[in-house]
Amino acid sequence: MICNIKTRALRSNILDGLQDVLYLLSMANQFALAIAATIGIAISAYFTLVFFDIIPANSRFVAQVCRMDEQTCQYVLHTTYAKLFGVPNSLLGAIFYAFILYTVLAHGPNSSAFISLVATLSSVLSVLASIYLTHALIVKLKTNCVLCFTCHALNLVILILLTYTG
């Protein structure tokens, strides 16, 4: 009888510890999603501002390694690949990243099934678009855009993190 009680208590402690670990992993996942979305918003906002000629492509606040010359950046941003139904991809990206950030901050790991599904489906679409756009940058435009590739990588990271959460 006493052995049974001790065994149950030990199992309870192990389960409590496991729940704590799972909670910490979930919080780390949400933090990583928030960081990825925030970086995506910053890059997308930059491209959107350059697209609409609000700031120059070689702005001082962009790291030197990420800068393209004005002509190359404008070329990339004004190709047919840079827009979907006339809307700049960067603006669509900013909306996507803002939605992911909102989902993380407002709902966290306890989001409704519908919000999780919308986030995951939009993330799948962003990864598919990233594959197409990476191909276009490398093969068709023959341009190396570090910020573009960073956003494409962020899209994949977000999908992985959302899949891990779900």
Rounded to whole angstroms, the Cα distance separating 108 from 150 reads 24
Q: What is the dihedral of CA 61, 65, 42, 44, to 10 degrees?
A: 120
The rounded distance, in Å, linking the Cα atoms of 10 and 82 is 58
8 Å CB contact between 36 and 104:
no
Chain position carrying tokens 């918003």: 41
DSSP-based three-state secondary structure for 84: strand
- pLDDT above 90: residue 136: yes
pLDDT at residue 93, rounded to an integer: 97
Q: In 3-state terms, what secondary structure has residue 141?
A: coil
pLDDT greater at residue 60 or residue 166: 60
Q: Report the phi/psi class of residue 108: left, alpha or beta, with left for phi > 0 and alpha for psi in -120 to 50.
A: left
Assign residue 145 a region: left if phi > 0, alpha if psi is -120 to 50, beta otherwise?
A: beta
pLDDT band for position 56 (50/70/90)? confident
Of the segments 24-33, 77-86, 116-125, which one has the largest average pLDDT value?
116-125
| Residue 157 in this model has a pLDDT that exceeds 80 | yes
Across 92-115, average pLDDT = 89
Give pLDDT tens digits for 104-116.
Answer: 998 876 778 888 8
Distance CA(165)–CA(100), nearest Å, equals 13
The mean pLDDT value of the chain amounts to 84
- The pLDDT value given to residue 121: 96
Kind and range of the H or E run holding 88: strand 87-88
Q: Which domains does the chain have, with CATH numbers?
A: 29-165 (1.20.1440.130)
In terms of pLDDT, which residue wins out, 65 or 97? 97
